[in-house]
Structure 1
């Protein structure tokens, strides 16, 4: 079982642990949220940059697509007739460097040079082609070696006739492919198996840089892809994380301090007892009393046990004194009375069967006990005999003796529990007029071993018999003790020799079998103290 000191230390540890956990969780959540937020923002910016580049290039190519039918109708017409038209169209489109008309594989008219007679595949080996094509290449006419984007529209089924439009990609690269450090280190354009990189021109392959992976976004209108080279949204968010540390530390320290203050009141044993009462964590046990004259069970003493789900089994020696010191013993006693009344059916319906309930002296002040008994006990008209066992831990001199007389008038027996160990006085025997004296187990255990305590036991026995007060010996554990007590006419015995404390639900089975129950493995193995 837990000890008071261990429980207090556990509460202090829990309080420190809770505050530390709050601090760590706050620090982790703050940094985590900032990291996730920054990473999402980086991803949005990367996607936005790629989307903007795709949209810009789409806007350049869509006018060419829209006017291609008009231009394709010019193929085959004399160059002198159509050259002003295609020159005007190139000027209007602005981004188009030149427009060339091809007939039977021969480039015969250019918006820049006018009439020509050059095989188109001599200028662009990939042309002519039977399907429309968009490709990256280099200029072989005006600015030799400069990168261009070519748009080819075939007119004939064999692809020998068509329109070739050259777009000056270098003029557009600063608009659509400019990097935005540190988020974006480079942008590139991919068409087929060729790529354009600002500053490098048209290349056959992109460099494989593991530190700057590519984010690719394809156009929905044309067969090109924008590649964004970036350190990565995650890497950039991690790089930015240390700048968020001061804010996270401030928040974690503040919430840890709040948690420390908040647990000051809750991390206390009195709060634990109140929680135990509210959550019905306490369990009511009973220990039988035997009349050794006829070996019959004549009653039980009601005991309180606490299997705290947070601390484990807590001894009554721990929680009862604390409850008494913090004015919680009366709520605990009410709990015991209420639970006993709810389970009266487990006891024999006999007027001579005694049910003993421990009551602190403070409960007898201002008529509190009588009010509680009227509410819980008398209201159910129980058959069994109630015995109020008054503990001597509290001073007995401020008891309302009128209440004692009223209890006697109502047929309730009064017992002094653990007689001889507390604040007892012989004069109180006259004032209280108890019906029962319960010999404390310390004196019972001294029988045959301790000469001084054994003598005190004899004196208590003689006193009880002299005053015609019924005697009950607690803590009987050996046959030697039982024999000695019987020889001295103490016939009501209670202890492990006959039965250990047991849950109320097990009492009918024990009574039917009349054999001591074995030690329950899920209950404490040490001595179990009553509520006193």
Structure 2
């Protein structure tokens, strides 16, 4: 019990920590996604600005192409005016091949394009070219972007955008979140603002997002420091923390209640046995061939001292989970033995008892059954042990030897709820069996819409070939009875014949109705629920 309580405390602690751990995980993912969306938004804004600036630059180039580059002496002032009054541009001008004919910054024949941008031109010179550069001859420390277009005759026009406009814009966007923002035109110089310092975080790393323009050869790259992801996670987690605390308390309450029930069931089952809270109901079995009651199945029931009934599936599952199924079955045998003493039944009356797999595999099983058989020997009953298919799967050889030993001593064996488990058909030949009980699910199929019952027919035919008696359980209608009778099923059990009843009620029922043939049709009592 102490070890159970220690495990219970660990389970309770795990239940309390689970929402917090899940909260950390989910908020971590949410923070990463939030930061990623912020990077995407920032990159989209920078890209839109770069595209708008590119549109403006090409408009300038088209405007310059209207001038005759051979008349730079006459148009020089116009070009200077255009360059000085139009935002963004460091210089605009007209060219022929690599030579600058006139420029808004330096007038006529200021030099070459290569000298202006301080890098060689591609060979051949493309008709349309964009390039980001680290600096120009007039401002070597400030980046710029060249927009250049050349006509077939070698004449062309250029617009040189001052990179400071881009740097200021990128700095304004990236500074609040300490982003490193960079822009690159046509694989040229990377214009960059911000710097990501080396940071060591166990959970968060720098996030990188890159995007390119569908209209221009422009690439935008945004890098966020780990501290931003951590800050985003902290904000999301603090928002989630009250909910995580509520969920932790709720989980702990639910698990605590479950643990109390789980721990208490072991003690309650022991107290229930000690306080005689268990009783046995018996459901009669009808023998079609002798048109009378052939026996009954014992069904354990539990009513607590406060009057509350506990469902059999609940307390039996709890008994199996809490290693109480063997003491409970031993108590069942004691209760049955006490009831049988009050009965007046003919020799050969069948008494079916359900046996759990754990009990069947326990060393005390054979001695328990022998002791019970000795206790009720004076009534000359036929004791039938009803086993589930699961009982036959584990420890197969040992189980087969036990069953064979008991059969030699007059005990008969039945498989209960056949067809609903995982039993291989080979087990029907491996184990020495006497009865096969067909689950009510197959019986209900008799009145299905299409009227076809291939599985039920196969089970009945297989039982006959293996010389097994067949019992149909859950029979509720005359149609089901007639079908089973026509297919050679000699035993039935269900509301059509009788409902489960107490030992005293069974004794009275056997005296007054047990020897009477089954009347076709459902009685009011027979249709009542358990």
Q: Could you tell me the TM-score, scaled by structure 1's length?
A: 0.51
2:272 maps to which residue? Answer: 322
2:152 maps to which residue? Answer: 156
Q: 1:355 aligns with which of 290, 296, 300?
A: 296
Q: Distance in 1 between matches of 2:56 and 2:299?
A: 98
Find out whether 1:42 has 2:38 as its counterpart.
Answer: no
Q: Distance in 2 between matches of 1:491 and 1:172?
A: 104
Q: 1:82 aligns with which of 71, 75, 79?
A: 75
1:229 Cα deviation (Å)?
Answer: 2.9
* 1:307-346 correspondence to structure 2 within 5 Å: 322=272, 329=278, 333=280, 337=283, 344=286
1:470 maps to which residue? Answer: none
Find out whether 1:168 has 2:162 as its counterpart.
Answer: yes
2:435 maps to which residue? Answer: 508
Aligned 8 A contact 2:184 2:218 in 1? yes
Tell me, what secondary structure is at the counterpart of 1:162?
A: strand
Q: Distance in 2 between matches of 1:155 and 1:118?
A: 19
Q: Max radius of gyration: which structure?
A: 1
1:139 Cα deviation (Å)?
Answer: 5.4
**CA 1:15/1:477 → structure 2, altered by over 3 Å: closer, same or farther?**
closer
1:320 Cα deviation (Å)?
Answer: 9.3
1:96 Cα deviation (Å)?
Answer: 0.8
Tell me, what secondary structure is at the counterpart of 1:118?
A: strand
Aligned 8 A contact 1:108 1:115 in 2? yes
Tell me, what secondary structure is at the counterpart of 2:73?
A: helix
1:65 Cα deviation (Å)?
Answer: 1.6
Find out whether 1:254 has 2:254 as its counterpart.
Answer: no
Find out whether 1:135 has 2:131 as its counterpart.
Answer: yes
2:362 maps to which residue? Answer: none
Q: Distance in 2 between matches of 1:134 and 1:476?
A: 100
Tell me, what secondary structure is at the counterpart of 1:167?
A: strand
Aligned 8 A contact 1:170 1:198 in 2? no
Q: Distance in 2 between matches of 1:131 and 1:326?
A: 103
1:228 maps to which residue? Answer: 222
1:48 Cα deviation (Å)?
Answer: 1.5
1:228 Cα deviation (Å)?
Answer: 1.9
Q: Distance in 2 between matches of 1:249 and 1:16?
A: 23
Q: Distance in 1 between matches of 2:95 and 2:247?
A: 76
The number of residues matched between the two structures is: 352
Q: Deviations over 1:429-458 (max 9, x none)?
A: xxx8x63799xxxxxxxxxxxxxxxxxxxx
Deviates more, 1:172-181 or 1:493-502: 493-502
Aligned 8 A contact 1:72 1:153 in 2? no
1:56 maps to which residue? Answer: 49
**CA 1:41/1:18 → structure 2, altered by over 3 Å: closer, same or farther?**
same
Q: Distance in 2 between matches of 1:261 and 1:110?
A: 80
Aligned 8 A contact 1:63 1:93 in 2? no
Aligned 8 A contact 1:148 1:169 in 2? yes
**CA 1:155/1:54 → structure 2, altered by over 3 Å: closer, same or farther?**
same
1:29 maps to which residue? Answer: 22
Aligned 8 A contact 1:392 1:417 in 2? no
Q: Distance in 1 between matches of 2:197 and 2:257?
A: 64
Aligned 8 A contact 2:100 2:110 in 1? yes
1:176 Cα deviation (Å)?
Answer: 2.5
**CA 1:415/1:29 → structure 2, altered by over 3 Å: closer, same or farther?**
closer
Find out whether 1:99 has 2:92 as its counterpart.
Answer: yes
Tell me, what secondary structure is at the counterpart of 2:435?
A: helix
Q: Distance in 2 between matches of 1:492 and 1:139?
A: 109
1:43 Cα deviation (Å)?
Answer: 0.7
2:63 maps to which residue? Answer: 70
Q: 2:411 aligns with which of 499, 504, 508?
A: 499
1:188 maps to which residue? Answer: 182
**CA 1:270/1:127 → structure 2, altered by over 3 Å: closer, same or farther?**
closer
Q: Could you tell me the TM-score, scaled by structure 2's length?
A: 0.51
**CA 1:143/1:174 → structure 2, altered by over 3 Å: closer, same or farther?**
same
Q: Deviations over 1:116-173 (max 9, x none)?
A: 263444434534823211113355554355432211111225xx32112221112431
Q: Distance in 1 between matches of 2:333 and 2:33?
A: 70
1:272 Cα deviation (Å)?
Answer: 11
**CA 1:351/1:198 → structure 2, altered by over 3 Å: closer, same or farther?**
closer
Aligned 8 A contact 2:76 2:103 in 1? yes
Q: Distance in 2 between matches of 1:137 and 1:360?
A: 90
Aligned 8 A contact 1:19 1:256 in 2? no
**CA 1:350/1:20 → structure 2, altered by over 3 Å: closer, same or farther?**
farther
* 1:387-466 correspondence to structure 2 within 5 Å: 416-417=338-339, 435=344
CA RMSD of aligned residues (A): 5.4
Q: Distance in 1 between matches of 2:26 and 2:150?
A: 55
1:175 Cα deviation (Å)?
Answer: 1.4
1:525 maps to which residue? Answer: none
Tell me, what secondary structure is at the counterpart of 1:70?
A: helix
Q: Deviations over 1:244-283 (max 9, x none)?
A: 667766545533433444456655769999xxxxxxxxxx
Gaps of 5+ in 2: 305-331, 348-367, 384-404, 419-432, 437-462, 470-501, 504-530
